[in-house]
Amino acid sequence: MPSYKAPVDDFEFLMFDVLEIEKNNDLPGYAELDKATVHDVLEGAGKFMAEVLQPLNQSGDEEGCHFENGVVRTPKGFKEAYEQYCEAGWNRLGVPEQFGGAGLPIILTFAVAEMGSSANQAFAMYPGLTGAAYSALIATGAPWMKEHIVPKMVGGEWAGTMCLTEPHCGTDLRLMKTKAVEQDDGTYKLSGTKIFISGGDQDLTKNIIHMVIAKIPDENGKIHDDLSTVNFFMVPKFLVSEDGKMGARNGVSTGSIEKKMGIKANATAVLNFDEATAWRLGPKPQPKAAGGDKKSSSAGMKGMFGMMNAARLGVGVQGVAVSEVAYQNAAAYAKERLVGRALTGPKNPDGPADPLIVHPDVRRMLLFARTAAQGGRSLATWISYLLGVASSKRSDQERQEAADLADLLTPVIKAFCTDMGFEAANASMQCFGGHGYIRDHGMEQFVRDSRINQTYEGANGVQALDLVGRKLARNGGRAPMTFFKVVNEFLSANADEAMKPFTAPVQTGLARLQESTMWLAQNGLKNPDNAGAASVDYLRMFGIVVVGYLWARQAKAAQAKLAQKAGNPAFYEAKLVSARFWMERMMPDTAALAERIKAGADGLMTLEAANF
């Protein structure tokens, strides 16, 4: 059976030694983040995830969710664990105190979310999606929803979902068919089918608040194939009155749950809405003039996009989480399993063979998974710090730059870290050889579970299109220029010989990224297919460079701690080795990626569809 131990030391290193959060107590919630408080939260969360959630991960996968007579049941032990999870308050750390939360900043809640996903991703998704749903209600809901519904979701009594995808459309919302017809009392009757709804039904909570997008028909009852009438709705499983009392069953039913490759302990449901009572979120949209903007006019859609962006960040953290747990188990196995002899001579002469860890290729796989986990964690921690700056009272320029960077990096963390998570899980499984395919070791579950992270909340190819097609050019390219400035300032300030092994490769990678950005600006406008063809390679290059920059920052912090003779020297030495691996083994990939980007679209688009 696999095991998990929360990397508390790494979280604390990133927060206090790299980002120096103690010097940022002007940020919302940071004044309470002293070392003792952070340590207690991380230690407590790590202990709970390892002792309560992790033991249910493999059994939950083997049993899966059950769907019988329209009712979903979660695997054995999940309901009891969920009650303990909510009683301990792990589901409400970052919620404002006015809604029953602890009001802690996202830099700490991201850490706890990663621990939960490492221990048991299927379980962690239930409260995770609920958090995204109640955050949307806080942003766009009516006062009675915030007063009566949000606290019950925060406390764990009720859950929440995101209902976006339909059988005939996923990303292309223009093709949606779910409709919502306004009633005399201001509510709507919502009808349609949504699929791939994680946590769409379960037996953990008394009610589920579905957050649904649907189209409002025109005065003739017609649904248009554009975005102008797409709106955001709250649809509870059981009706809720404005005083918060739960009533009769709403017109929402579970048609089935998917028999799927991974995260089997989380019910991925088909939900049928049959004139379900729905409440529109946000002000009523204004009628569009003929020939006007086809984008949605619903202010509530801002809440939907906010919910989706939060989910994209959360999925990126899930990619980091699987890298970590897969690495931990592979490293433990490689140190114990005896296979062959070291190429430079026996390292275990009294034994029949040397441990796997002596072989260079095994170390390559382990260091890849290690640096994917720790590098991805540094990216998540930096983004959470930027979000704190963006919501602070600092100067307009500081807040704008932080918001621009967080927005730019959202598709990067979602796609790059989930790609790395899947690759790290595969590399870690490979360390086990044939034993990696055996369920007892749990590695094959990590591979299956991690694969979906690359697809949901927008497939990674869509994230790449978002980065290239929207994020780069927005506001005249302000965000990428800010990123280039931030990295160049760090490189200029750390040009000493001790840092050269870490800064020189980042400088090379950054130059390739800037050159590729200019190529896209020139050639993507001429032929949009050039941007589409380059987008995935460009996002991967961006991920390698931004994580390389953060590895350089980790190296600088580790060098400082070693010079001070503070802390555990082995931890900091390992940081330097890991940073070196990224520079030597990952950063060179930017050269090949740059060539692929500049190849353009012709080689992809020439072959006629009939010849595929």
**Residues labelled catalytic:** 457
CA–CA distance, 236 with 251 (Å, rounded to integer): 9
Burial class (CB in 10 A: 0-12, 13-18, 19+), 166: buried
Query: Whose CA is closest to 244, among 315, 175, 152, 161?
Result: 152
Positive or negative, the Cα torsion across 191, 192, 198, 202?
positive
CA–CA distance, 152 with 208 (Å, rounded to integer): 10
| DSSP 3-state of 607 | coil
Q: Can you spell out the DSSP letters for 411-476?
A: HHHHHHHHHHHHHHHHHHHHTTGGGGGSGGG-HHHHHHHHHGGGTTTS-HHHHHHHIIIIITTGGG
Structure tokens that stand for 323 in this block:
């890298």
C-alpha neighbours within 13 Å on the C-beta side of residue 60? 26
CA–CA distance, 227 with 207 (Å, rounded to integer): 30
Phi/psi at 55 (5° precision): -65, -20
The answer to whether the beta carbons of residues 554 and 10 sit under 8 Å apart is no
Q: Which helix (H) or strand (E) holds 158?
A: strand 158-163
Look up residue 167 and give its amino acid.
P
The answer to whether the beta carbons of residues 450 and 322 sit under 8 Å apart is yes
